[in-house]
């Protein structure tokens, strides 16, 4: 079994996200000076999760993501997610 760690507001580099972005959108890898993900995420996000060592390598069969409707093209077309039925229960 592979040890996978997930860290709330974990550290990452702009280079890592630029490589991921290039793969997802079939573009070139931008330099940090062109597209600084550290700055963008810290300015626009309350939180994020950094996963290391790979979910597939740990034996996970599925990866689930929630998103707002206007982001569906990104997740379905660029990232390869497929629609599923899900439920939500407000606890407050």
Q: What is the pLDDT of residues 18-27, one digit of tens each?
A: 988 888 778 8
pLDDT at site 14: 93
> pTM surpassing 0.85?
no
pLDDT at site 1: 62
CA distance 18 to 60: 25
pLDDT at site 53: 64
| Alpha helices per DSSP H over 1-92 | 14-25, 37-44, 72-73
Q: Which residues of the chain have pLDDT under 70?
A: 1-4, 52-53, 55
**3-class secondary structure, 50:** strand
pLDDT at site 7: 82
């Amino acid at each position: 079994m592979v040890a996978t760690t997930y860290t709330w507001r974990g550290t990452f580099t702009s280079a890592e996200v630029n490589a991921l972005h290039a793969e997802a959108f079939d573009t070139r890898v931008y330099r940090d000076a062109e597209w600084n993900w550290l700055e963008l995420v810290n300015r626009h996000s309350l939180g994020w999760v950094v996963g290391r060592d790979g979910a597939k390598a740990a034996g996970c069969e599925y990866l689930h993501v929630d998103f707002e409707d206007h982001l569906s093209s990104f997740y379905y077309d660029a990232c390869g997610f497929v629609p599923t039925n899900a439920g939500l229960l407000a606890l407050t």
